Each structure stands twice: as structure tokens, then as C-alpha cells.
Structure 1
Amino acid sequence: MEKTLLYSSVILLLGVASCKKFLEQPPDNRAVLNSPEKVAQLLGTAYPQANYMAFAESISDNVADKGIGDLERTNIDPFNFRDVANNEEDSPEFYWNACYAAIAAANQALEVCMNAKDPENYQAQKGEALLCRAYAHFMLVTFFSKVYDPVTAGADPGIPYVLKPEKVVFEQYERKTVQYVYEMIEKDLTEGLPLIDDKHYNVPRYHFNKAAAHAFATRFYLFKRQYTKVLEHAAKIFPNNNVAALLRPWNSEYRVLTYNELWARYAKATEAANLLLAETRSLWGRNYIGIRYGLDATKSNEILLAPNVTGGSGVFRYQLYTIGTNNYFLPKVNEYFVRESVNAEIGLPYVMVPLFTTEEVLFNRAEANVLLNNINDVIKDLNDYASTRIYNYNASEHTITAGRLRSFYRTNNVQQASLAAVMDFKRAEFVQEGMRWFDLLRYKVPVVHPTVEGKTLTLRADDPMRVFQIPDVAKLAGIEQNPR
């Protein structure tokens, strides 16, 4: 009996040891984040994989009622200044969820970086994670809270700034204030940017490389109204002030491309103007041409084809195309379809979105210089930009001067005229990409949408509908919705 008991005890101990080893193994094939390389792979998902272009463009003054066209809620509701009754691709709710999914990935990466035995080897990954977390929160507070105003930011409700991985079901969060969110964004931005190391990226344009991080900083400080800092960060992208060489070559290489070739090139990682690209699940690539509320002949003339401050024959060279009835488009939002399998007929649509470009940095710098009253610097940037955009550009004919600015905009205030020129050029550059909405927010510009039925819809500067609604599901986490 003693021998039997001894053998049984040994077998039991062996079984317990084996069971313990089994339980120490991951329950599935998930990756264990135990190296900088694996954390870097996780950070590939720390960028919002959703597209804001549809709802941001549709609520702006870039679109008109064509009377006919494809009917998409992500286009119809923003145009009519209503909450979007859709939670799928291209909706505000889909974008909200994608931003917080990106934040969750960034926080998971930061936790690994912080707890690693050799944290010095994770510095580049930590920097990228901090930038990703800052960017996603910035986009959330921009769309789902009132625009930053130093007078009211301390009272305006912000969005939850999430600093750790979520480990319980229905974690409770509070919105705090826009001021708090901006402080946290700046903290992550300034801590993360010095850690960014481009040598760690196989394709830097798909990650927060140094240039993209500085580009983000120019946008953030423009919203925060710290214009000197905008200039400081822009200088890192144009160190030798070689602006024209880094802009899209519409006047040279682009002019001979077909629209299919333009579609293929516009959002490529090899395009110098693209500083950061993100893959997004989106139908905008197929919808933006034929939707009912979009770019028509009238808006094309207003934004792209009308005379501008360069004078004379100075119109933009953008390759503008038409399809069907009154459908105008620039070939730059290109869909690629991912099939579920090689022989499948179903799958998901994706659009590669340029999150930051050299053109935006140029406009951010020019606007900052306007507001600092550095008018000569503004005029230089406008002329560098015009040299790459104006049809049959000739410096002797198209050079912008202070006198030409005052004359074209019919004002003696050259600062006011300079700002108008920057906004007009920027509007043309980013038409159909949703960027116009950011400028309308910052300057609290009312938006007017006439309809073919004879109605006039107006979005006032103080209208609560300028702030997109926080999804209903967020109420489960204790997040209060925006007033209506």
C-alpha cells in the first residue's frame, strides 16, 4: 500500500506540473508581445481604420444638391445637418469605434513598453504608440466636441482620453473637458515625437515617421492657436525651404497621367507629398463621384475653375473629370477590394487615406504666418504653391503680390486678403477629401445648403449640429451624448 501511495503521489505531482505548464500556454495562437518587433506589428493597427471623408465633406460647403444621384445616409444626413442614421463604413459611429480601437492597440503597446525588462530597446515603439494615441484622440475631439476655444475649452465637454488597456466589460469613462483633452494630446505628442526613429520602419509612410509627426504637430498647434509652434514644426519638414519639390507635381508629371494612373498614384507611399497613409475600410472611393450631394458644375466653377488671385489665365490645373449627369470628380480617392478568398465574389472595400501631406503643412504654415502678420512669408508660400498648380504657370504673369491680394479680394487689409487666399487654395487642394470641414470649424463659418426643392438649410456658427453625435452605445460606458 505504501508503494502504491508513493506511485500515486508521484503521478499526481507530475500531472499537476503538466497541467500548470499547459495552463501557462496561450489558449490560442495569439502572438505574445515579448519583443520590440512584435510590438511594432501591433502598432500597425494603432491607426484609425475608418474614413472620415464622407461625412466631413458632405456637411461642408463643398457640396451641392444635384437633384439625382446615389442615396447614402453618410451623405444625405450630414448635408441635411442631421445625425447620421448609419453605423457602418464612412459613418461617424464607425469612425468613433475605429479611433478607440486604435487607441486600445496603442495602449496595449505602451503597457508592454513600460513593463519590458529592457525598456531602452522599446523607445521607438513607445514614441509611435504615443503619437498614435494622441492622433486618434485629436480626431475624436475635433469631430465629437466643440472646436477648441481658449475662452470656453475649460468648460466644453471633451471626449474620454483613455490611458490604459480596457480589461473589464463596460468600463466607465468620463468626458472631462476639451482643455483637458488638448493637454493630454500635447503631453503624448511632445513626449513621443523625440522617440520616433524612421530606421525602424520598412515603409515609413505607413507609420508616424518624423515628418508625419511634425505635420501632426502643425495641425494640432494651428487648432490650439499657438502659431509660432506651427512654424517650428513646419521648418522640420521644409528644412531648406524646398517647398515646391515636395508638393504634388500637377503642373508636370501629373498633367500627362490618365485618370486611372492618377488614382493609382495619388495615395502611393512613393509619392513625396504623402507623409502618412492609413488603410481604411470605406465605400467613399466608389460613392464620392455619383452621390446626390457632391461636387457639381456650380461648385466646380466656384472652387476650381473660377479666376483666382494669380490673375489673368490663372486657373488650377487639377485634372477634373465628369461622369454621367453633373458628377464632377478628381481622381484621387481610389478603392481596392479585398476578397474573402481567391475565388470569392464577396469581400470588403478599402481606401488608402493620406492622413498628412506636405500640402497641408504648407497651408498650416501660411495660415500661421498670416495670423502672425508675416505677410512676405505668406506670399512666398502662396507663390511656391501656385507654381505647381496654375495652368501654364508663368512667373511674370502669375506671381502673387500684396497689391494683387488687395485688388482681388477688394480690401485694403492685406492680412485679411492673405488669409482668404490661403483658405481658397487649401479648399481647392483638398476638395472631396473632407479637409474643408476643419477650416469651417476653426473659423466658425456658417454653412448654407440650398436644395433643388427650393429650401435653404443653414448650419449656424453656434449650431449644436456642428458637433457630431456620440454613438448611443457609448452611453453604456457612462459617456454623455452631445446636446441636440
Structure 2
Amino acid sequence: MKNKIYIYIALTALGISASGCKKFLEHTPDLRTQLNSTEKVAQLLTSAYPKGTYLDFTELSSDNVEDKGPRSDYRTLSTAVSWERNYFWQDFVSGSEEISGTTDFYWSSAYLAIASANTALQYIENNPIDAKLRAYKGEALVARAYAHFMLVNLYARTYVPNGTNNSPGIPFLTAPETVVSGKYSRETVAETYAKIEKDLTDGMPLIDNSVYKAAPKYHFTLNAVNAFAARFYLFKGDFAKSIMYAGKVLTTPDQIKPMLRPWNTTYQNAAFDAFNIMFTQSSQNSNLLMGEANSVWARSHYIRYGFGRATAAATVSAANVTGGEFAYRGTGPFIEPFFTAYKFKELFFESKIGSGFGDPYIMVPLFTVDELLMNRAEAYTSSNQFDLALQDINTFLSTRIKNYNPAAHTVTLARIASFYNITDPKEGLIKTILELKRAEFISEGIRWFDLNRHGLTIRHSMLDANGKTTFIELGKDDPRRLFQLPEAAVKAGLTLNPR
């Protein structure tokens, strides 16, 4: 992967190593003496974004998956065991920090990203007269905020607006590592959120799009950082700020519509192989921030547990509040049971050209206009601005419904009440937004965060050899809704999540 060496700029965070790091530590792992120019700081910051992905474990732990039943033709993948553990909400075992797609791997990759950001910030702090570093300071602060934000929302209790939030958060690191096995502690969720907010608000004014000459959508541009801020404040329950930051990207419906994914036009008519390339291209107006992740998630349809017929019927193929038909791509080009939303194109990084050995990876949309619009709709709803929430919902749906006709498909409070049999307008709007997001972000891992924020019970099916189906559930207060810290974190002085 590009600039892969910069992942090792700082010593491994929290004593957890990425694959191959042990050999690296036998030499001199700290390359900060080579960090001596603005150009090298810019290059270093390409590794300030996690190179792992949360898609596998958040999606497979959510209600977007099912047991498709026993068969003999499922693929045997190295990650299949970890994916199965996700489905049954089981913790990972020792050594899984080296398996892409696991909670341990993401923890490690996020702290490696933080280490890169901290190393850049240290250099910038030591060179205050270099004005060219201002924009990179902004990027490093926001990138550090993002990695910590993802960590606290995956490995700690969900933030409760106006709550005490005094349960254990995650270590917030603000300096490069100087020892291999340092000792750390878990701050509270409230303290973690406060530090994330400070990094975010300190970094935002420094962001300058002009420094990103190439591949700007792989960096925190102004649009991407505003989308991050809108999500952060929605999760925090500060709806006015969420709306404000979303408004810096989103203006009128006519301006927003060309920025949304073209599901009922371009995507609808594209061949599957063209569609899954398009979906993660930085040239797509909807993609605000892209991430590169070591992952085999593009092959997830080949295993027993995942997106299937029942899930499709409840999401992308379901009846919806407009009375029209979704324009989503359904279950992909494969035959049952190998259902897939087909959103990700697997790429391959050869460790040596022509060797056939290396790492599979995908490009992941980390922030999109589509999510931003629906986040604003939720913030409007939560602040009782129902008309504005409906406007955002209908703008969103104008690109999601086949042969969209405003006269026939416009959503109103009365239509929501009738469709969901919910009389309270706020409750009905929240239900509408969450259901639309569920269908929209199938296989993208976002549903997990919504399920936790709203305390929704998760239900998974289990199908035996005779075709009998039973169910298991994960309640809103179940401790397994916090992903477990890696075993190695205990050696760094951290307390594991309760089980």
C-alpha cells in the first residue's frame, strides 16, 4: 500500500503490533530523525488514517445479516472464523490482531494512525515558524480526533446526551510513543469525548484544501471535516451544532441532489462490475473522505453468515414509506445464497511485483454526503424542526426511488404515521430515517452505530440442517455491545470490558 513504511514512524501504540512489526522493532523503529521537511510531514499524514476497517465486525454484529443455512460450497477464508464469531457476538482470540477485519486489528490500526498524527504534531510543535505546516497541523489534529472517535464508539459505552458518561472510555494519546510497553489507563467516555471535541475544533480552522494537490478525498478536506463534525455532534446530542456543520456542505435541495449517490440513474443502469468500481471512486460527488483498508470484506458473501434473502427483503427490496420501489442493486450478480450489495472492489498490493504475494485491500467511504444529509435530518427531527427534516428526507429519496415522482412519492408526516402506525411525529421521523439509512448503508457498517445510539435490540437467526429457525438476541444493555479490547491491552494496564 502507498507509503506503507510510515505506519511505523512511531513505536507501536499500547504495546500492540501490526503484522511484521516485531521484526521491525529488532532494528531502529523510530524514524522521526528523518522527519525534517513539510513534504515529509505531508507524506507521514497519509498514514494518520486507520488502515484497518470496522466494516466486518460492525456489519456482522448488526441486524443486517442472517444465517443462510448449512451448505458445502461456502468458501474457506482465513477471516471466516472471525466473521462467525462476530455473528454470535463472541470475542476474538489471541493473535487476531494480525487478522484483517477483526476488532483487534482495527484497534491496532487506529492507534498506529494516532501515532503518526502525534509524530507529525510533535515536529510541527518544534518548528513553529514554518507557516506552511499550519494546514498539516489541522489535518493531524482532526485525524487524531477521528481515530479516537471511532475507538470510543466501538470499545466503550455509547455516549448518552446529558448523561454522566462516566464509564471507561479509551486511552487518548497526545504524544509519540517512546517506549515499547508503556502503561496506560482508560479515561471516562465523557473525558474522551471532550478531548476529541478539542482536537476537532482546534484543527478545523487550520484545514486548507489547497495543500492536497493529489487525492484530496483521502484527506480531511473542509467538506470531510464538516461531515465529521456533524456526525460527532449528532452522537453527542448537540443538534444545533450538527445542523450548523452539515449546512456548511449542504445548502438547497437543488444543490444537494447532484452530490448524492445516483441510485435511480447512473447506478441503476451500470453493469455490476462497473458499479462496484464507481461506488468507491473518489470522483463520486457523494464520497467526502475515502480510506484504504487491508481487507477481504469484498468476499464476505461467500460465507454462511451475512447478507441474505431475509435481510434483502427487509432492506433494499422492502416496501418503503414513499409507496415506490427502491432503486438499490438488490443482491448482486451471484446466485443464492451468495448475496452481496456488491459495493466493494477488491484490490491487491503485491509485496513484490509479479510475486503473487501481498495484501488484499478495499477503498472505504468513511464520510459521504448521503450519510451527512440523513444525519442532518435526524438532528432537525431531534430539535423539532419537522418540516426541514422532511425536506432532507425527500431530497434523499429523490435519488433512491425508481421513476421518482414528487406528486406520488413525497413523504409527509401523515404518510409516515400511516405506514409505520406511529402517531408521534418525532418518533415516526426517527423510525423513517433509521430504516432508510439501514437500506442505504447495507454492508457499510454504519447500522451498528445507529442501533447502539437508539438502544435497539438486535436479532440473529440460526438455521439448522432441518430448516428450523431459532433466534438469538442482543439487548440494549448487553455488555457485548462494547467490542472487547485486545488481550495485549491488559499488559499495557488497561481493564477489559465486562462480559
For normalisation by structure 1, the TM-score amounts to 0.91
Aligned pair 1:317/2:335, yes or no? no
Code of the residue aligned with 2:475 in structure 1: it is R
Aligned position for 1:236: 248
**Structure 1 residue 32: Cα displacement:** 2.1
Determine if contact 1:73/1:84 at 8 Å carries over to the other structure. Answer: no
* CA shift for structure 1 position 325: 2.6
Q: Distance in 1 between matches of 2:128 and 2:58?
A: 44
Instruction: Report the equivalent of 2:490.
Output: 475
What residue in structure 2 maps to residue 216 of structure 1? 228
Structure 1 residue matching 2:472: 3-state secondary structure: strand
When structure 1 is superposed on structure 2, of 101-110 and 371-380 the one drifting more is: 371-380
Residues in 2 aligned to 1:153 and 1:429: alpha-carbon distance in whole angstroms: 33
SS at match of 2:339: strand
| 1:413 Cα offset (Å) | 1.4
Say whether 1:258 aligns with 2:271: yes
Matched, 1:60 2:92: no
Instruction: Answer whether contact 2:272 2:333 (CA < 8 A) is retained.
Output: no
Alignment of 1:90-105 (within 5 A): 90-105=101-116
Residue 200 of structure 2 corresponds to residue 189 of structure 1? yes
Q: Answer yes or no: is the 8 Å Cα contact 1:47–1:132 preserved in 2.
A: yes
Deviations 1:40-86 (A, max 9, x none): 10000000000110110000001010013446123211111111233
1:22 aligned residue: none
Moved over 3 A (4+): 26-31, 68-71, 150-154
Match of residue 448 from structure 1: 459
Shift in alpha-carbon separation, 1:108–1:70, aligned structure 2, 3 A = same
Comparing 170-179 with 445-454, which one deviates more in the overlay?
Answer: 445-454
Per-residue CA deviations over 1:336-356 (Å, capped at 9, x if unaligned) read 011222221211100111100
Residue 3 of structure 1 is matched in structure 2 by none
Once the two structures are superposed, residues 74-99 of structure 1 have per-residue CA deviations (whole angstroms, 9 ceiling, x without a partner) of 32111111112333100000000000
Asked if the contact 2:159–2:165 (Cα under 8 Å) also holds between the matched residues in 1, the reply is no
Q: Following the alignment from structure 1 to structure 2, what is the Cα–Cα distance between the partners of residues 440 and 433? A: 14
Decide whether the 8 Å contact of 1:123 with 1:195 is kept in 2. yes
Q: CA RMSD in A?
A: 1.7
Q: 8 Å contact 1:304–1:315 — kept in the other structure?
A: no
| Identity over aligned pairs, percent | 41
SS at match of 2:220: coil
Question: Aligned with 1:441: secondary structure?
Answer: helix
Could you tell me which amino acid in structure 1 is paired with residue 474 of structure 2? L
Which has the larger displacement, 127-136 or 30-39? 30-39
Separation in structure 1 between the aligned mates of residue 420 and residue 48 of structure 2, nearest angstrom: 44
The answer for the alignment partner of 1:23 in structure 2 is: none
User: What is the letter of the counterpart of residue 264 of structure 1?
Assistant: I
The correspondence of residues 266-415 of structure 1 with structure 2, limited to 5 A, is: 266-286=279-299, 288-311=300-323, 314-320=324-330, 321-415=332-426
On the 8 A contact 1:153/1:177 being kept in 2, the answer is no
State the distance in 2 between where 1:416 and 1:27 align: 53
In terms of mean alpha carbon deviation, does 377-386 or 100-109 score higher? 377-386
Structure 1 residues 333-386: Cα deviation after superposition (integer angstroms, max 9, x where no partner) = 111011222221211100111100000100110001111111111111111111
Decide which moves more: 334-343 or 28-37.
Answer: 28-37
Q: Distance in 2 between matches of 1:394 and 1:150?
A: 38
Judged with a 3 Å threshold, the aligned counterparts in structure 2 of structure 1 residues 197 and 82 are, in CA distance, closer, same or farther, namely same
* Kept after mapping to 1: 8 A contact 2:137/2:203: yes
**Partner residue, 2:84:** 76
Query: Once the 2 structures are TM-superposed, how far is the Cα of residue 290 of structure 1 from its aligned partner?
Result: 1.6
Larger Rg: 1
Offset of residue 33 of structure 1: 1.7
Question: What does residue 22 of structure 2 align with?
Answer: none
TM-score norm. by structure 2 comes to: 0.89
Q: Return the letter of the residue paired with 1:271.
A: Q
Map of 1:457 onto structure 2: 472
Q: Offset of 1:322 from its aligned partner?
A: 4.5
* Structure 1 residues 337 and 157, CA gap change in structure 2 (3 angstroms): same
Give, as a single letter, the amino acid of the residue that structure 2 aligns with 1:254: Y
Structure-2 separation of matches of 1:443 and 1:219: 15
Give the CA deviation at 1:238: 1.1
Distance across 1 between alignment mates of 2:261 and 2:205 = 28
Q: Quote the offset at 1:448 in angstroms.
A: 1.1
> Equivalent residue of 2:47, what SS?
coil
Matched, 1:115 2:126: yes
The CA distance in 2 between the partners of 1:28 and 1:73, in whole Å, is: 35
Shift of 1:168: 1.3
**Structure-2 separation of matches of 1:163 and 1:212:** 22
Change in 2 beyond 3 A, CA 1:401/1:476: same
Task: Give secondary structure in 1 for the equivalent of 2:193.
Answer: helix
Three-state SS of the structure 2 residue aligned to 1:348 is strand
Relative distance call for 1:146 and 1:257 in structure 2 (3 A) is same
How far apart, in 1, do the equivalents of 2:492 and 2:422 lie?
A: 52
Equivalent residues in 2 for 1:10-159, closer than 5 Å: 32-68=34-70, 69-70=74-75, 72-85=80-93, 86-87=96-97, 88-150=99-161, 152-159=163-170
Q: Which amino acid aligns with 1:65?
A: D
Q: 1:275: Cα distance to partner?
A: 0.3
SS of the counterpart of 1:426?
A: helix
Tell me if the contact between 2:63 and 2:460 (Cα under 8 Å) persists in the aligned partners.
yes
2:273 counterpart SS class = helix
Does 1:177 find its partner at 2:188? Answer: yes
Deviation at 1:31, TM superposition (A): 7.1
- What is the distance in 2 between the residues matched to 1:34 and 1:398? 58
Q: Can you give the 5+ residue segments of structure 1 that lack an aligned partner in the other structure?
A: 1-25
Q: CA deviation at 1:411?
A: 2.0
Change (3 A) 1:396 1:474: same
* Structure 2 gap segments, 5+ residues each: 1-27
